[in-house]
Structure 1
C-alpha cells in the first residue's frame, strides 16, 4: 500500500504501524511527534495504530539550536 510520510510517497507493508513508520525516518526516541491525517497520535498508541492505504503521516522532530 502507499502512504505519504512527510510529503513523500512510500510503498509500505499492509501491516505497518505508526511506530514502524517513525523508525524509517529517525532513530531518536525522544522529541518526536506524529500526526496521521492531521490527527495527533500519542506515543503510547504508535505500536497499535495501523496505517491504511493513502494515509498522510507527518513525523516532526524537535531541533535545538542557539
Structure 2
C-alpha cells in the first residue's frame, strides 16, 4: 500500500497550461522513471523534473 507524503505549509499550484510532458525510464535495469513537465504558471513557462519516480496516479484528466 502506497503512502502519500504531506508537506506542511505547502499548497497545490494550478498550472494554467501544460505544454508537454514526457515519461521515460532512467536505466534498463531499474523500474525508476523520470517525468519532465513543461507548463505555464503565472504566464511564465516553467519545467518540472521529477526523478526516481516509481509510481504515478492520475486521478482526473480533461481535454478540450
Q: What's the TM-score, normalizing by structure 2?
A: 0.27
Higher relative contact order (CA 8 A, sep 6+): 1
> Which one has the bigger strand percentage?
2
Q: If you compute each CA radius of gyration, which structure gives the higher value, 1 or 2?
A: 2
> Which one has the bigger helix percentage?
1
